[in-house]
A and B are shown apart, each in its own frame.
Chain A
Amino acid sequence: MTAIADAGVYLPVKRSRGYWASVAHRLARDPVAMVALALIVAIALTAIFAPLLAPADPFKGSMLRRLRPVGFPGYPLGSDELGRDMLSRLMYGGRLSLLMGVTPVLVAFVIGSSFGIFAGYIGGRINTLMMRVIDVFFAFPSVLLAIALSGALGAGIVNSIVSLTIVFIPQIARVAEAVTTQIRTRDYVEAARVSGARALSIVRVHVLGNVLGPIFVYATSLISVSMILASGLSFLGLGVKPPDPEWGLMLNTLRTAIYSQPLVAALPGVMIFITSISFNLFSDGLRSAMEVKQ
């Protein structure tokens, strides 16, 4: 009973939130970012649990039931050019599309940040040299570089992921280097160095804690581009091979149906669009929640 009485007596203690908790708090109050996040989670969950959720086998077609319209009995979103259920294929399609869109950014985040942080922290001539190498990659527009690399490597899921990773590494490395160079000259890093801290622990304690956030935000903004490019490679025939369901490839094979079933033909692109814009809006929300300025 005293506990209740006490609760009335003491003023609630106002604890100050940690940095990440306050970011999450601000993000939770951003309706656009939350809707975007909800869409991303829904699409990802649908893709992961596609075998449980999909109403039909995504590979099983019927030449007699080709190109059924949206809403046809038994085919809620119609059927494709080989008579396969569109809804099931779109659900399964998210697996490869998300895998091919997100993996390059994740891998490039690890490699690009390490490269950029190393260059930025070490400074001097080695930094200049490393950044000049990065500059060469900036001489290629991303789409061109992605297509050049996967065109030379040959079609395939792994080759597409490798090509896109190579496209994003320089972009992330440049941001990582810029942020690290800024941090390196701060007084507290200087103080740590003067007080005898080893380079590795300075990087771990002072640099990483301050640079990973901005680099991460930048990387999330690349996912949208990566999704469009990855599906674009499959659209060109450089990524996923038929009959595997993937949104870009589905868009390509359905191009012949734009006269007979335009709505069905456009559906895979709608999925790419929704996913890409959700990642973009979530990334924007994350940026303002973290108060990171570009």
Chain B
Amino acid sequence: MLLYAVKRILYVTPVAIGVSIICFLLVHIAPGDPLTAVLPIDATAAQQAEMRAAYGFDRPLPVQYGLWLWKVLHGDLGNSIATGRPVLSEVSRAVTNSLILAAVATLIGFTFGTFFGFVAGYHRDSALDKIASAISVLGVSVPHYWLGMVLVIIFSAQLGWLPPTGAGPDGSGNWRPDFEHLRYLILPAVTMSVIPMGIIARTVRALVAEILTQEFVQALRAKGLSEWTVFKHVVTNAAPTALSVMGLQLGYLLGGSILIETVFAWPGTGFLLNSAIFQRDLPLLQGTILVLAMFFVLLNLIVDVLQTALDPRIQRA
């Protein structure tokens, strides 16, 4: 087990390096000089050269990458061009907000997804199965940013039950666990939960249907065990895969929340990315994406190792 974990970590290292290369190159695929955003329009050639040297842009690309990576490994993601503040502090504040949203959304999605999945898997080809399958297709096909708008139209504009945007009543950038703030969390979290719900329902349905056809289930029933005990066995067998799907979905939501965060003006990483893009704040864009991607890589690793710990049959090479 420990050996497997070590192997996984070794395997992840080149992926992490690759991710850092892509993030590094993001600034360089951007059209124009990466300095244009920093420099005033009327900067002289001498001033431009000075800045270029100060930022290290006059060095060869691999050297620049090395210098950049060295800084990153020491927790320095550079400064935001727009605010002048360190990118790392901006990102870590936003990540907390995004994480709360994504975690709650994943929980909602997982709860309903497993419920629909179990119902469908237990009653294959019944009307219930068709309804559950339809829900999961709807969940993966709906443009979630549109769903968010529709929910705002219904629950904020029409009924006036929930606030349409923001993370809290004070308009501040931080979510706190109290009732007032909870009301702000409901709409974005429900909107976001639709995607993992559809995917988890599909996965669990297939899993349960497959487990139920296995011989050990027949054996359990033949032994005269109650349907409840059989159900518990099915759950135990479906859990590792279902949980790993849930873990991955959390990562997807964290990285993919930009559209929903924009609709709800949720002060998370998506919102940060949005402003970074439109202010051409490349260090902020690069830093946010690096943090999110690394988080995703780490989450993948944790999920993999945990899944193997739960079910040693599935060690991946």
Binding site for B on A (CB under 8 A): 132-133, 135-137, 139-144, 147-149, 151-154, 224, 228, 231-232, 235-238, 248, 251, 255, 258-259, 262, 265-266, 268-270, 272-273, 276-277, 280-281, 284
Contact = CB atoms under 8 A, between A and B. Distances in A.
A139 B300 contact: yes
B302 to A, nearest CB: 14
Interface stretch (B59-67, B216-224, B231-239, B289-297): B289-297
A144 B258 contact: yes
A98 B144 CA distance: 18
7 contacts: A139-B300, A141-B256, A144-B293, A144-B296, A228-B143, A259-B157, A265-B153
Contacts of B293: 139-140, 144
Given A141-B252, A276-B141, A266 B258 contact: no
Given A152-B285, A153-B29, A136 B22 contact: yes
Contacts of A136: 15, 18-19, 21-22
Interface string B274-317: 10111000100100010011001100100000000000000000
B137 A135 contact: no
Interface in B249-274: 251-252, 254-256, 258-259, 262-263, 273-274
A148 B26 contact: yes
Given A258-B157, A277-B138, 10 more contacts: A137-B22, A139-B297, A142-B256, A143-B259, A144-B258, A148-B26, A152-B27, A265-B149, A269-B147, A280-B137
Interface in B11-41: 14-16, 18-19, 21-22, 26-27, 29-31
Interface string B200-237: 00000000000000000000000000000000000000
Contacts of B16: 139
Interface in B125-155: 137-138, 140-147, 149-150, 152-153
B83 interface: no
A238 B277 contact: yes
B145 A232 contact: yes
B44 interface: no
Please give me the 8 A-B residue pairs with the lowest Cβ-Cβ distance, nearest first. A269-B146, A136-B18, A143-B256, A141-B255, A144-B255, A277-B141, A151-B277, A262-B153
Nearest to B28: A152
B256 A153 contact: no
B172 interface: no
Given A154-B30, A237-B278, A258-B152, A140 B146 contact: no
A152 B14 CA distance: 24
Nearest to B152: A258
Interface of B: 14-16, 18-19, 21-22, 26-27, 29-31, 137-138, 140-147, 149-150, 152-153, 157-158, 251-252, 254-256, 258-259, 262-263, 273-274, 276-278, 282, 285, 289, 292-293, 296-297, 300
Nearest to B12: A139
Contacts of B137: 277, 280-281, 284
B26 A269 contact: no
Contact of A139 (B15, B142, B258): B15
Tell me what chain B mostly uses at the interface: helix, strand, loop, or mixed.
Answer: helix
A141 B142 contact: no
Nearest to B263: A255
Contact of A140 (B149, B262, B278, B296): B296
A136 to B, nearest CB: 3
Contact of A153 (B31, B147, B157): B31
Given A139-B18, A237-B278, A277-B137, A152 B143 contact: no
Contact of A273 (B14, B143, B258, B296): B143
B91 to A, nearest CB: 13
A242 to B, nearest CB: 15
B46 to A, nearest CB: 28
Contact of A276 (B143, B254, B273): B143
A144 B23 CA distance: 12
Nearest to A150: B277
Contact of A269 (B15, B143, B258, B285): B143
B259 A140 contact: no
Contacts of B143: 228, 231-232, 248, 269, 272-273, 276
A250 to B, nearest CB: 11
Nearest to B288: A148
A280 B16 CA distance: 33
Nearest to A281: B137
A101 to B, nearest CB: 11
Contacts of A269: 143, 145-147, 149-150
